[in-house]
């Protein structure tokens, strides 16, 4: 669907302006139109009988969806891509595609909690068992394989605690044993981490975050290498899990500026993270680009950048009452659980309540921060005032 099928020699910011559109097919308009619909009209009886059409019915997709699929496939260096109405949607789709009844699945202990819930509440009903592993296990994951292990799931970094696993080492073990790897790459996107080039079979993310960029859509994206693409596409078609046309249109629009927004998010988040590291109220900053974050060496070796999400650990003397005073009085940061948009967010979390093979004992209250596009000094001033309330009311 794109007029630039071979732009791989161009730099990423240029590629993002070209992918998923073809003005020559759009009467000269720069952006592709939104196609909505269910019914496809055929011209001949033979066409109907053979389902001879690029899109045989609305559940087979549309030009709008295909534009985004083709663009993402090129960006990710994949064999193909499909979309779903949310990030958790493509997680479920990917796990369905790579497992069957009687299989065993390995999942990192730091994984996004809805992924964990899907394994325990849905996959378990169909006879798929799940074991959890230390995200920093690296090549040692080979000792955890079972005869029926069919897939290893990775998250880089962990969604709250920000461990960066040794992706190539885990992928190499999986490949050696004919096991599929599925990775949640939402934090870095293909701009900062080329998952397929590091041995990952399926790379997924919530396009809700940095692809959309404006907190106004829900979308999931998963790309597959050539070997895994047929199974992924077949599962997708059987489930009919299509995103809305308007969400795909907004995602294509977000793609044009994604590189610029990611670079700015990286700059701002690093400035805030380094400032927080010097604050007396903070005992630890969990940011993959900082040397004391677990797996920093893996990040430095494999990643091309960092995005705008990280966590902090407060010192042990602070109380929930003080934390409530800190958070409820903020005027620039808002409390919320998403990220990747233009607005800065902050949210408390506690990994200890659900981890099963690793211990989460940070020594103090923990907060996850999403750094948006507000002025950095305003963000610092807002946090500074919040820290004063924290100390006063603890």
Answer yes or no: is pLDDT of 9 > 80: no
SS3 183: strand
The angle at the Cα of 214, spanning 209 to 216, to the nearest 5 degrees, equals: 90
Over range 360-389, report the average pLDDT: 97
Compute the mean pLDDT over every residue in the chain, rounded to the nearest whole number: 94
CB-based contacts of 145: which residues, under 8 Å, 6+ apart? 106, 173, 177, 179
For residues 58 and 153, what is the distance between their CA atoms, to the nearest angstrom?
31
Confidence category of residue 20, pLDDT binned at 50, 70, 90: confident
Confidence category of residue 375, pLDDT binned at 50, 70, 90: very high
Contact 165, 96 (CB under 8 A): no
Question: Alpha-carbon dihedral of residues 98, 101, 103, 107, nearest 10 degrees?
Answer: 60
Answer yes or no: is pLDDT of 278 > 70: yes
- Identify the pLDDT of residue 53: 81
Confidence category of residue 36, pLDDT binned at 50, 70, 90: confident
Span 259-393 CATH architecture: Alpha-Beta Complex (3.90)
- Identify the pLDDT of residue 351: 92
Contact 196, 77 (CB under 8 A): yes
Which segment of 26-40, 58-72, 192-206, 242-256 scores lowest on mean pLDDT? Answer: 26-40
Token pair of 124 as six digits: 């378990």
Answer yes or no: is pLDDT of 233 > 70: yes
Helix runs in the chain, H state only: 12-18, 45-50, 63-76, 87-98, 113-121, 167-176, 189-192, 229-239, 245-277, 296-302, 320-328, 376-393
Answer yes or no: is pLDDT of 3 > 60: no
Confidence category of residue 35, pLDDT binned at 50, 70, 90: confident
Confidence category of residue 125, pLDDT binned at 50, 70, 90: very high
- Identify the pLDDT of residue 6: 59
- At 311, which helix (H) or strand (E)? strand 309-314
- Identify the pLDDT of residue 5: 52
Answer yes or no: is pLDDT of 389 > 80: yes
Measured N-to-C along each axis, helices 87-98 and 113-121 cross at an angle, to the nearest 10 degrees, of 40
- Identify the pLDDT of residue 2: 47
Token pair of 128 as six digits: 């798929």
Widest Cα–Cα separation across the chain = 78
Residues of the chain with CATH 3.90.1150.10: 259-393
Number of residues in the chain: 394
pTM for the model: 0.92
Over range 42-56, report the average pLDDT: 87
Over range 60-71, report the average pLDDT: 90
For residues 102 and 148, what is the distance between their CA atoms, to the nearest angstrom?
7
Query: Tell me: the pLDDT tens digits for 148-190?
Result: 999 999 999 998 999 999 999 999 999 999 999 999 999 999 9
In the CATH hierarchy, which fold is given to the domain comprising 12-254? 3.40.640
For residues 68 and 216, what is the distance between their CA atoms, to the nearest angstrom?
17
Residues of the chain with CATH 3.40.640.10: 12-254
- Identify the pLDDT of residue 19: 81
Rg (CA), the chain: 22
């Amino acid at each position: 669907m794109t007029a630039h099928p071979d732009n791989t020699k161009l730099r990423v910011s240029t590629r993002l302006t070209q992918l998923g559109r073809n003005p020559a097919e759009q009467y000269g308009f720069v952006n592709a139109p939104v196609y909505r619909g269910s019914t496809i009209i055929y011209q001949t009886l033979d066409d109907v009988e053979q389902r001879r059409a690029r899109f045989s019915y609305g559940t087979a997709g549309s030009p709008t969806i295909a534009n985004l699929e083709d663009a993402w496939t090129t960006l990710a260096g994949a064999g193909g891509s499909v979309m779903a109405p949310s990030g958790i949607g493509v997680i479920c789709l990917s796990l369905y595609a790579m497992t069957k009844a009687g299989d065993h699945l390995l999942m990192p202990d730091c994984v996004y909690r809805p992924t964990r819930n899907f394994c325990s509440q849905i996959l378990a009903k169909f006879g798929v068992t799940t074991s959890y592993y230390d995200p920093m296990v690296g090549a040692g994951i080979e000792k955890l394989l079972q005869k029926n292990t069919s897939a290893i799931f990775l998250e880089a970094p962990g969604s709250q605690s920000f461990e960066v696993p040794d992706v190539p080492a885990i992928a190499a073990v999986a490949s050696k044993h004919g096991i599929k790897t599925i990775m949640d790459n939402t934090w870095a996107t293909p701009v900062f981490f080329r998952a397929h080039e590091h041995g990952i079979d399926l790379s997924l993310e919530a396009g809700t975050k940095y692809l959309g960029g404006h907190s106004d859509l829900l979308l999931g994206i998963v790309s597959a290498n050539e070997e895994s693409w047929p199974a992924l596409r077949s599962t997708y078609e059987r489930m009919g899990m299509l995103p809305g046309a308007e969400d795909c249109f907004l995602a294509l629009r977000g793609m044009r500026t994604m590189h610029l927004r990611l670079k700015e998010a990286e700059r701002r988040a690093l400035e805030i993270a380094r400032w927080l590291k010097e604050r007396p109220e903070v005992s630890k900053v969990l940011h993959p680009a900082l040397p004391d974050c677990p797996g920093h060496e893996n990040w430095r070796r494999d990643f091309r950048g960092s995005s705008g999400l990280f966590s902090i650990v407060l010192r042990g003397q602070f109380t929930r009452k003080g934390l409530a005073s800190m958070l409820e009085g903020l005027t620039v940061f808002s409390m919320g659980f998403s990220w990747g948009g233009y607005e800065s967010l902050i949210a408390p979390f506690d990994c200890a309540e659900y981890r099963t093979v690793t211990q989460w004992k940070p020594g103090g209250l923990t907060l996850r921060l999403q750094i948006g596009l507000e002025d950095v000094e305003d963000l610092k001033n807002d946090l500074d005032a919040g820290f004063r309330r924290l100390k006063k009311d603890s």
